[in-house]
């Protein structure tokens, strides 16, 4: 019997199938018990922090503005989301896609907020753990220290409107990367799906709340003149922007396009 193949030649799930898979994943994520959810969230925060640490190492000795160096930095930063997607972890920003299950009434709003809250807390713990380990390793010194200080100061100098808008743009790309990974059928496909959207958001200077949980405290540990209120002043609008960009943008748009018809 001859096996039917997709006439497009693409070995990937179709967009409508991706929407259904993401909605089902949202139902499963919302039902995770507290301990597994927190554990996977800590891992996600650590994975993103490791990607951010690799990004800062790539930027040592080069201007932190736009340019080819940031392309390399973005490629390395995508390691974080690759680990989340392939190894498995609960990332707050990626979980904005759970909105699809919520608007389709597959989960309650309380379950959505529970997942987001625990994922956010776990991501923070994981990111700060990598900050502590980087400091204990002695690596936050010399040229790397100069770079992380510069990045942290630049992030905390953003106004709330700028931070919010960059957060919206960032999580549009992050959630699109996750969306593409759900279309993939192999590990190699999933890796490739993550690389270009994440590299683009780093290159363009968008703001990712979980990455900033590493980048700003790492800058402070390295001696940047940053206060706790400045950290919160960045994290709050960026987080809200991430929710709007991922949940209100990508998730809601695709739900409207592929929602089950009555």
How many other CB atoms are found less than 10 A from the CB of residue 24?
Answer: 13
* CA–CA gap between residue 160 and residue 42 (Å, rounded): 27
Domain residue extents for the chain? 15-257
Q: Centre a 10 Å sphere on the Cβ of residue 170 and count the other Cβ atoms it contains.
A: 28
Distance separating alpha carbons of residues 170 and 164, to the nearest angstrom: 10
Per-position pLDDT tens, the chain of length 262: 444 555 444 677 898 999 999 999 999 999 999 999 999 999 999 999 999 999 999 999 887 667 788 899 999 999 999 999 999 999 999 999 999 999 999 999 999 999 999 999 999 999 999 999 999 999 999 999 999 999 999 999 999 999 999 999 999 999 999 999 999 999 999 999 999 999 999 999 999 999 999 999 999 999 999 999 999 999 999 999 999 999 999 999 999 998 765 5
CATH topology of domain 15-257: Glycerol uptake facilitator protein (1.20.1080)
pTM: 0.92
Q: Which residue has the tokens 């390793």?
A: 137
pLDDT at 261: 59
Instruction: Report residue 126 as tokens.
Output: 């994981």
Q: Determine the pLDDT at residue 22.
A: 94
DSSP string, 16-42: HHHHHHHHHHHHHHHT--HHHHHHHHH
Q: 3-state class of 232 per DSSP?
A: helix
Q: Which residues, other chains included, contact 157 with Cβ-Cβ below 8 Å and sequence gap of 6+?
A: none
């Amino acid at each position: 019997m001859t096996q039917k193949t997709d006439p497009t030649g693409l070995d990937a799930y179709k967009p409508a199938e991706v929407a259904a898979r993401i909605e089902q994943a949202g139902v499963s994520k919302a039902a995770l018990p507290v301990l597994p959810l927190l554990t996977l969230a800590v891992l996600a925060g650590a994975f993103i922090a490791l990607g951010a640490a690799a990004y800062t190492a790539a930027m040592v000795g080069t201007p932190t503005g736009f340019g080819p160096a940031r392309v390399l930095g973005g490629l390395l930063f995508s390691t974080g989301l690759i680990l989340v997607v392939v190894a498995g972890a609960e990332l707050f920003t990626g979980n904005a896609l759970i909105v699809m299950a919520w608007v389709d009434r597959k989960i309650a709003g309380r379950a959505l907020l529970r997942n987001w809250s625990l994922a956010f807390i776990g991501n923070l713990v994981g990111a700060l753990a990598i900050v502590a380990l980087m400091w204990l390793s002695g690596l936050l010194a010399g040229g790397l220290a100069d770079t992380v200080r510069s990045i942290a100061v630049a992030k905390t100098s953003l106004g709330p409107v700028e931070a919010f808008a960059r957060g919206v743009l960032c999580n549009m790309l992050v959630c699109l990367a996750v969306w593409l990974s759900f279309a993939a059928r192999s590990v190699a496909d999933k890796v490739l799906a993550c690389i270009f959207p994440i590299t683009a958001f780093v290159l363009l200077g968008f703001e990712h709340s979980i990455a900033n949980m590493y980048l700003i405290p790492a800058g402070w540990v390295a001696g940047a003149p940053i206060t706790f209120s400045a950290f919160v002043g960045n994290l709050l609008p960026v987080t809200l922007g991430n929710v709007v960009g991922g949940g209100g943008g990508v998730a809601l748009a695709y739900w409207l396009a592929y929602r089950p018809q009555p």
